[in-house]
Amino acid sequence: MNTNTKSYGSLSVLLTLGLFLWVLLMYTFLHEGGHALVAWLSGGSVHVFDINFFNLGAHVRTSAELNRSGEVLNSLAGMGLPLLVWLSFLLLAPRRASPLLETLKLITSAGVLGSLIPWVVIPLIVASGGGPVSDDAARFLQYSGLNPNWVAAFFAVLIFGLYRLARARISNLAALRELILGNQDGGAFGWQQNRRTYLTLLVSAGLVLGLTVLINAVGGGVNRTVAPVPAGYQFVRRVDLSANHGQDEVIAVFTRWLGSGGILLELQDVRSEFLEVRLVGDNGYEDTLLHGEDFTSERGRVEYTQDLPPGEYRVLLNARRARGGISVYLRGR
């Protein structure tokens, strides 16, 4: 093996890794950006915009008060925005492009189509009597009330249709293999031949990181509010206590099917003559998460990690003469 071949082999590994990281960065930004966009459109603010996918901590924390249709839209937004951007890229990119652009088509297509698989699997799990508590697909089913079998069937057909579209728009299906293993013309992925594409990738990554810093700076940032939410929790909704709340208002619904997980209530500037949050299950389970009279909390958290028997659960709120907000997070595995 000559020196040029060795050099190209090492460079191809770094280039392949770089492309995968770029796609992961863009997908994570667009996924969380979809949730943030719904919050902004609903009149709320984004306090934390975390795309730290290296520790699997990507999440958005907002002050948006969403109704049932808003929750449905929010559960779709994380999947929908990356899907729309990918479709635009696939349709606008040349049918026959450079090997580097063909490789990007392959990687982005695999990533987006793979992200749709849970929208088939999770509804089937829910239809069989269970379902994760902290996934967009599970929340979509909970708030939309649609038949999970029909949802699974729809996304299965969608994945097949998008796969056929990707096959039609990718002219060189061997581009990724050529990049990883090398081809007769190692310069096909070189800087000179692809300078504009590489610059576009670098600039877009810089813009995404810059926007992330800006959103956190404007919204308050994780370090300017409270400590980060523990790993594994996903934001469900924020409840504005100054609004009128009925007796035992349902502020979260989830299905526990493996008995493990957790509930986290984050309190922000709460003052209430009476405040109570209870957990009620359709299996007869009931417990109190929070109870207080003349209750005050500038920044506080209540974490509930009891093992629960399988079944559907509701988090119920009772508040009187209250102000401030409660953010609800769920964790399940």
- CA angle, 132 then 136 then 140, to 5°: 95
Model pLDDT, residue 60: 63
| Domain parsing of the chain, residue ranges | 3-219, 234-331
Contact 234, 329 (CB under 8 A): yes
Distances in Å between the Cα of 81 and the Cα atoms of 26, 31, 37, 212, 236 are 11, 7, 10, 17, 19
Contact 245, 330 (CB under 8 A): no
- Using DSSP's 3-state secondary structure scheme, residue 250 falls into strand
pLDDT at 160: 97
Report, at the CATH architecture level, how domain 234-331 is classified.
Sandwich (2.60)
User: Residue 254 forms beta bridges with which residues?
Assistant: 313
Amino acid found at 149:
N
pLDDT of residue 228: 72
d(Cα 124, Cα 143) in Å, to the nearest integer?
Answer: 17
pLDDT of residue 62: 60
What pLDDT, on a 0 to 100 scale, did the predictor assign at position 166? 94
What amino acid occupies position 45? S
197 and 98 Cβ atoms separated by less than 8 Å: yes
- Residue ranges of alpha helices (H) inside 185-227 are 195-219
Mean pLDDT by 10 residues, the chain (333 residues): 51 79 90 86 73 56 67 88 95 87 91 94 83 70 88 96 94 77 61 80 87 73 57 82 75 76 85 88 87 78 84 88 86 66
- Chain centroid to CA 71: 14
Query: What radius of gyration do the chain's Cα atoms show?
Result: 23
Strand partners of residue 158: none
Sorted by sequence, the CB contacts under 8 Å of residue 106 that are 6+ apart come out as 170, 173, 175, 176
Amino acid at 228: P
The encoded tokens of residue 297 equal 């909390």
Tell me the longest C-alpha to C-alpha distance in the chain: 79
First-to-last C-alpha distance (Å) of the chain: 48
